[in-house]
Amino acid sequence: MHRVRNKPVKSTATASVKHLIKQRGGDGATAASKSANDYNNNDSLLTDMQEPSIDTDKLSYEIFSILESKFLFGYDDSKPEPANSVVAGSIKNQRGKICILSIDGGGMRGILPGKALAYLEHALKSKSGDPNARIADYFDVAAGSGIGGIYTAMLFGSRDGNRPIFKADDTWQFLTRNAKGLYGGAGILKRVLRTGSGCCSGTAKLKKVMKESFSELTLKDTLKPVLIPCYDLKSSGPFLFSRADALETDGYDFRLSEVCRATWAEPGVFEPVEMKSVDGQTKCVAVGGGLAMSNPTAAAITHVLHNKQEFPFVRGVEDLLVLSLGMGQLLDVSYEYDRIIKWKAKHWARPAALISNDGAADTVDQAVAMAFGHCRSSNYVRIQVWATLQNCI
């Protein structure tokens, strides 16, 4: 587990590498349908939670089409090859590059990357000819924040040290199946504003489903290196749960059920998680990873570049293939001056959270794209959907 401290970031104006999926007029290449509903009053952003008002199947399929053409299968017509170790304790896949998967945090918006991952895994099975192929077979490192952290644990956690517990299809189904019990029927911010800090009714449900999913498994019980952040209130700093650290000492090994609760402990929605390592030596009081690291891509890249024990063949970003999945940015939220000038603190609560999370994720995206330089178009793929995701948290 790493304690993360802020460092100055040098930045110059440059376009980040993204695939932005927007509606286009009936040309068959559309990825999302923009809602016709506008927000007409100051309370419009506090409406009840619903399913995303888009065709998630169509959108996710088109996201996957980008992955297929630009990332895993875009080099030639050969079958995709799983990532394999070539020397004891080191990782290097057969194509000579380390494949990194990074998944943003974003609550109910996690349905989109979940469905994209499901399509990806289905295609891996089809193209490889292996009906048992899983996401974990084709990525060497995974990082996830918030719901992305739970997806990471689901796709890479293992009970037998050989195969993952869950399929990619289980990710988005987990979210839709448990959404009502976790978030309740009313809009999340509406409940927060109405009942204050005592509104964390989803905590018991979250604890139950995480325990059922992972039992007593720990960070050591993951198939590949994983990184999952939270924010530690005890030390007032971000913490990064790491399989590499867990393998080094029990003082950095934590139960996956608690790691998942920690990274998804959204303030006002779920209670903070008081947790300790399996040997009881390391303790923290955790809240959501999205507060500390809504986009964990940079943390994953840094981990690989500086971990010579597991990645001795990596010289720089040219030896990496990075797939970063965003949670989607909203097209149906408008901030006209004449309207927002009248807002009170309660009206700013949800927009401020969205602006902060999305802004931080985009900043990381831009910095990573710049770091890849001339190889960013081939080695770094950022999927960030512009779509109508009305009322998703």
Active site residues: 145
Structure tokens at 194: 């109405």
CA pseudo-torsion sign 346, 349, 352, 358: negative
Under 8 Å between Cβ of 253 and 216: no
Under 8 Å between Cβ of 83 and 94: yes
Strands annotated E in 68-153: 98-103, 141-144
Residues 6+ apart with CB under 8 A from 148: 102, 103, 104, 105, 106, 110, 113, 296, 325, 327
Under 8 Å between Cβ of 251 and 282: yes
Q: Roughly what angle, to the nearest 10 degrees, separates helices 147-156 and 203-214?
A: 20
Report angle CA 259, 358, 347 to the nearest 5 degrees: 100
Task: Give alpha helix (H) positions in 160-274.
Answer: 169-183, 188-195, 203-214, 243-248, 256-263
Structure tokens at 376: 């960013």
Under 8 Å between Cβ of 391 and 48: yes
Beta bridge partners of 330: 387
Scanning the structure block, which residue is given the tokens 């587990």?
Answer: 1
Beta bridge partners of 252: none
- Burial code (b: 16+ CB inside 10 Å, e: under 16) for 191-218 equals bbbeeeeebbbbbebbbebbeebbeebb
Identify the DSSP state of 313: T
Distances (CA, A) of 207 to 145, 211, 212, 213, 342: 17, 6, 9, 10, 39
Distances (CA, A) of 227 to 152, 156, 172, 239: 8, 11, 20, 10
CA 232 to CA 145: how far, in whole Å?
14
